[in-house]
Structure 1
Amino acid sequence: MRRLILLRHGVTEWNQDRRFQGHEDVPLAPRGRQQAAAAAAHLAALRPSLLWASDLSRARETAGYVAAETGLVPVLDDRLREIDVGDYQGLTHDEARERFGPGPWDYADHGGESNADLAARVCAPVEEAAAALADGATGILAFHGHAIRMATIGFLGWPLEVVSTLGALDNCAWVELTDVPAGSSKSAWRLVAYNAVTPIS
């Protein structure tokens, strides 16, 4: 059985302010570093052999805690960045509602990406990571909440509209996907955990 862990980064001050981050390079808040350390200690027990991350600092820092626990060197990939929110970047949710009306919002209408564009972008590295895993191996990819939701849906071949039925991922929560043999000649990836998290005090 192969396993993929799609790990959201720890909390940032912009998360705490409910501010759209998109491609803005926002670092972890002190609480986010605590979350990342706790998640890393838990996930290291899975003995991962692969560690990839978005190149944005909040995901890169989160992967750094996993690296410290496992000895792995993170591979940075800008395809794992969060959705480009265009004109929403830097706005709080209240400011966005004042300027653009109630959601759901289509960022592609305001200089950003659509969900379809995001899914195509983030699915490619997830598929490459899966292909790079040996039998029985675990890979961890540290990136961003909405990007992980769309990557999960796209990787499993679900319709993109399913995203509205998936709740937002908590900071430093993860999605777990496993490759369960479905027959003698093929296998199928399955969702076995969503929004799993290591509690911290």
Structure 2
Amino acid sequence: MTGRAGGPRIVFWRHGQTSWNLQSRFQGSTDIPLTEAGLSQAKRAARLLAGLRPDRLISSDLQRAVDTAGELARLTGLEVSHHEGLRETYAGEWQGLTNAEIRARYPEQYAAHGRGEPVRRGGGELSTEVADRSVPVVLEAVEKLPEDGTLVVVSHGGTIRTMLGRLLGLEPMQWECFGGLSNCCWSVLGQGIRGWRLLEHNAGTLPEPVMGDDT
């Protein structure tokens, strides 16, 4: 990313496609592997992200994230640090169910979550609890970056949303303002004068420099 302000940068990269993604099943902490298409997505995205010359690479310890991160590690020579704290939201009884099944079996929970209320989906974690366990992992890695360094975080769509919301200082009810990440796409935070700012969201190509009055 050329033409950016100085300071650290965090690239939040979602894992590639899985069979449960194709079936619209809630994966959560269930350890589902990549499909062949998902592995191809990871290879393509890794070639692009290697162009950012990342300094550190951390990943969820679930296999779909591990294998996605491994493609970037092979291209950059970086060692991957795996963390349980970067796993997807644990959603208890929702895990393994399709979206239609969840709406049919848990209509009140589903509706409350849609309204932005704190809900233990399927008896699992609150979104704020996911942020509590994931954000410290990221900030610890940021502290180890060189000046103006880049950290790549390989994680999951729901967990990435909570990390973005927490790091940008938004109230939990506002975290859903971030649309979902497509498989193997990423979001980028950069350090601004007043803290973290969102530079890219759901990107699949390398960003262009920002030119004009809003640099």
Q: State if a TM-score over 0.5 links the two structures.
A: yes
Overall identity of the aligned pairs, in %: 39
Alignment of 1:1-201 (within 5 A): 1-101=7-107, 103-104=110-111, 105=113, 108=120, 110-180=122-192, 182=193, 188-198=195-205
* Contact kept? 2:94, 2:121, Cα under 8 Å: no
Once residues 150 and 128 of structure 2 are traced to their aligned partners in structure 1, the CA distance between those partners, rounded to angstroms, is 27
Once residues 146 and 16 of structure 1 are traced to their aligned partners in structure 2, the CA distance between those partners, rounded to angstroms, is 17
Shift in Å, 1:164: 2.1
Q: Deviations over 1:127-182 (max 9, x none)?
A: 112212111211101010010000011112211111221111111111101123x2
1:62 aligned counterpart, secondary structure: helix
* Contact kept? 1:83, 1:147, Cα under 8 Å: yes
Name segments (4+ residues, structure 1) moved above 3 Å: 104-107
* Contact kept? 2:91, 2:121, Cα under 8 Å: no
Q: TM-score, normalised to structure 2's length? A: 0.86
Shift in Å, 1:37: 0.6
Once residues 170 and 72 of structure 1 are traced to their aligned partners in structure 2, the CA distance between those partners, rounded to angstroms, is 24
Using the TM superposition, name which of 47-56 and 123-132 deviates more.
123-132
1:175 aligned counterpart, secondary structure: strand
Q: Gaps (5+ residues) in structure 1? A: none
Once residues 41 and 99 of structure 2 are traced to their aligned partners in structure 1, the CA distance between those partners, rounded to angstroms, is 24
Once residues 117 and 174 of structure 1 are traced to their aligned partners in structure 2, the CA distance between those partners, rounded to angstroms, is 22
Q: Deviations over 1:46-102 (max 9, x none)?
A: 111100000000000000001011011110000000000111011111111121127
Once residues 198 and 60 of structure 1 are traced to their aligned partners in structure 2, the CA distance between those partners, rounded to angstroms, is 22
Q: Gaps (5+ residues) in structure 2? A: 1-6, 207-215
Q: TM-score, normalised to structure 1's length? A: 0.91
